[in-house]
Amino acid sequence: MLTGVTGILDSAGDDWVRLQVSGFVIHIAVPASVVYQVGSVGDTVSLHTYLRIREEQLSLYGFISSDDLEILFCCREYQVSGREVPWAYCRHWARVASRLPWKQRM
């Protein structure tokens, strides 16, 4: 399992970043909020990651904090109209969970 990656920011889009790591460029899907937090091209970036393996596709998802990654695991348990839960919905529940006096770990 690929649980984290550190590299040099190569480029970024609306919902992805590309990091240069040991001669490779890795494409990582991220929430839009992460794109604005990682800095500028050429900066060193560290992300907590989740590698999703499907029959014909590998997808790498990245987050600044491990707490945000845990929220992804919670959201993946639920389906909305047969589709994955949108990033914004997950971020909303992350904010709600951060206000609770206790925190349940998975």
pLDDT tens for each residue of 70-102: 666 555 555 444 555 555 556 565 555 555 454
Within a domain: 104: no
pLDDT in tens, 32-72: 888 888 989 999 999 998 888 878 888 888 888 776 666 66
Of the candidates 34, 17, 13, 31, the residue with the CA atom closest to the CA atom of residue 86: 31
Q: Are 4 and 48 in contact (CB under 8 A)?
A: yes
Which residue would you say has higher pLDDT here, 19 or 95?
19
Write the CB contacts of 48 (distance below 8 Å, at least 6 apart in sequence).
3, 4, 62, 63, 64, 65, 66, 68, 69
> What pLDDT does 73 receive?
59
**Cα dihedral across residues 64, 91, 72, 33: positive or negative:** negative
Number of domains in the chain: 1
CATH number assigned to the domain comprising residue 8: 2.40.50.140
| Domain that includes residue 38, residue range | 4-98
Q: Is residue 23 part of a domain?
A: yes
Does the residue 105 lie in any domain? no
Residue 61: per-residue pLDDT: 86
